[in-house]
Structure 1
Amino acid sequence: MSFLIPIKSAIITFPILAIFILLPFLVIQYHRYGSIVAWRAVVVYTFIFYMLSAYFLIILPLPSIQAVAKLTTQRYNLVPFMALREFIATTVFNPIHPGTWLPALKQPGFIQPFFNIVLTIPFGVYLRYYFKQPIVKIVFYGFCLSLFFELTQLSGLYGIYPRPYRLFDVDDLILNTFGALVGGVIAPFLVKAFPSRDQMDKKSYDRGQKVSLLRRIIAFIADYVIVGTLVEIGMSLVGLASLADNPYLSYFISTLIIFILIPVFTHGQTIGKKLVKIRIVKRSGTPAKTGQLILRQFLLFEIAIPTLWGFNYMFVQVFSKMHQSQANMILLGVLSVAALFVVLNFLWGMIFKNGYFFYDVWAKTTQISDVKKPRK
């Protein structure tokens, strides 16, 4: 049961890979469709898991470098249909004796070539079902995938090993390509019970006309991960490293650039909002004025968020570090009222206002989706 090792390895590795690609996946989906459809995520992630499993199946288990250095086995086979010759020569199969057919299917001469066909059948299914590729392209991509596998083996896992520890076999190219073809042919029959790609796209575009809270959060994270990092690097490069080391000044400068100045010059979009196709506009849907953009962003990033941080800081000072001076108690009281307002407004806006919070109300702005439905 040597195939269990690659499968177990894929199961262990996949959650880490899934987390690593989650933000790019969400950004791409929101940028293209404006929403996430659960079934699309299932299809994409199962495809990634399949590709990971297939890759591990062709490289694992890994032998030691010393053991590979001592190998004297054949490195490659360029003679086609050797697998067929071995099947005829090494199995009990006899076409005129049906009683030999089933036993022949249990012998290595059949199992290994059959595995190479089965390995790429899902690849063909995914290409036909989700990526909507024609049969000709499925065959071509199947061949390319197989060639990648075989070259991986021929190169000794990209030079890690002094020589190949598995055989580069032209028959594997043929069988893998045939498996992709089989998958492409049977895909329409296998996926009848599932939503089609067109149905997924339509549902995504319909949902994408509204701006969900998750979409806004992804834009916020993208701004901090991408633009925030660039701002920090830029501050260091221009000799402002001391400011970057101060968390308060760093936050003020970063938010000023990312969330106030950039939207002013891009007509209501931060870089993150542009990635997920969100725009800040007037309630009427017309472009927001500069003053409205500045007010909205200032209320959120220079008032609301610092208020929550300030409350947390003063709470720790008063009740953990026991700095219970009269000034600290008064400041904590003021911050408590302000933080309570922010939290309650957030909850109220989430539950009853569809994500419409006080800073949009006071600035008379809203957020709309820039995603356009494709014309039929």
Structure 2
Amino acid sequence: MTTAQETALAYGLGAFVVVWSMLAIPQLIIHLARFGRVDRRRVLTTGVVTLYACLAVAVVVLPLPGPGDQRLAQTVQLVPFQWVTDVGTELATYGLPRSHALLTLTFQQLAMNVLLFVPLGALCVLLWRRGFLFTTLAGFGVSLLVEITQLTANFGTAPFVYRIFDVDDLMANTAGAVLGWVAATVALLLVRLRKADAARASAAVRPTPLAAAVPPHRAAPDARAVAGPVGAPHADLRTQPLPLPR
């Protein structure tokens, strides 16, 4: 991570503290008025989204160019996978072996572009319950907006163009959103499988309810009581004394 990126993240954190303070207080008041309590989940969700937005904007926009900064010789890069060539050029310039490719500034910039959009893909699943196609289009659309912002010098608010419109950034940002969607989807699937396994295990160890008691007047007679003791001869009605008349 470069010094400029560290500075941008520091400003992003500062902006988050200010913006979330402005959002959290009205949100707490609304929750108390409507529900009589604070919905911690909604407050936490607002904080996470605000933090991501502040950090993303800070990384994209900051640091702003100063009066003495040199203008870019190239403002548009439309060759896909140009970063591969740039990694090779950087290795050759500093005389480094290919094993140091992941340590080059070019690759680190690419990795940052991927990681920058991973939270967006995760939010599409966890917060908005969106699918793969929506997440891909959202990642590409937001990335395109970022690149247009850089190409137009922050829509004319900056003194000149200080960031390159790069097609590789579009690809990396979209890939980051897709990666975040996949990670969040797998995480949700694992959580659901664990809950299902826990429910099945709980049902397996749960004692079987006893059968409902049969009322005494409906109870079936005991076969042994009817038949008499085991091995005893059956009574012959012809040899039994007749009842005496009353």
TM-score by length of 1: 0.44
SS in 1 for 2:179: helix
Partner of 2:109: 112
List runs of 5+ in structure 2 lacking aligned partners. 193-246
Residue in structure 2 matching 1:125, options 122, 137, 153: 122
Amino acid paired to 2:7: I
- Structure 1 residue 58: Cα displacement: 1.2
Alignment partners' CA distance in 1, 2:132 and 2:74 = 34
Alignment partners' CA distance in 1, 2:191 and 2:36 = 22
Query: Is 1:161 matched with 2:163?
Result: no
Partner of 1:7: 9
List runs of 5+ in structure 1 lacking aligned partners. 93-98, 196-376
Alignment partners' CA distance in 2, 1:34 and 1:167 = 50
Partner of 2:63: 61
Amino acid paired to 1:10: G
Alignment partners' CA distance in 2, 1:128 and 1:35 = 27
- Structure 1 residue 74: Cα displacement: 0.9
Would the alpha carbon gap of residues 87 and 28 (structure 1) be closer, same or farther in structure 2, given more than 3 Å must change?
farther
Which region of structure 1 is more displaced relative to structure 2, 83-92 or 167-176? 83-92
Alignment partners' CA distance in 2, 1:111 and 1:124 = 20
Partner of 2:85: 85
Amino acid paired to 2:75: R
User: What is the identity percentage for the equivalent residue pairs of Structure 1 and Structure 2?
Assistant: 27
CA contact (8 A) 1:154 1:163 kept: no
Amino acid paired to 1:6: A
CA contact (8 A) 1:91 1:109 kept: no
Would the alpha carbon gap of residues 194 and 13 (structure 1) be closer, same or farther in structure 2, given more than 3 Å must change?
farther
SS in 2 for 1:136: helix
The RMSD of aligned alpha carbons is: 3.0
Would the alpha carbon gap of residues 76 and 187 (structure 1) be closer, same or farther in structure 2, given more than 3 Å must change?
same
Partner of 1:135: 132
Partner of 2:212: none
Partner of 2:228: none
Alignment partners' CA distance in 2, 1:38 and 1:151 = 37
Alignment partners' CA distance in 2, 1:7 and 1:16 = 14
Partner of 2:53: 51
Partner of 1:19: 21
Task: Give aligned pairs, total.
Answer: 186
Structure 2 matches for 1:330-341, cutoff 5 A? none
Residue in structure 1 matching 2:182, options 185, 200, 210: 185
Compare CA radii of gyration and give the structure with the larger one: 2
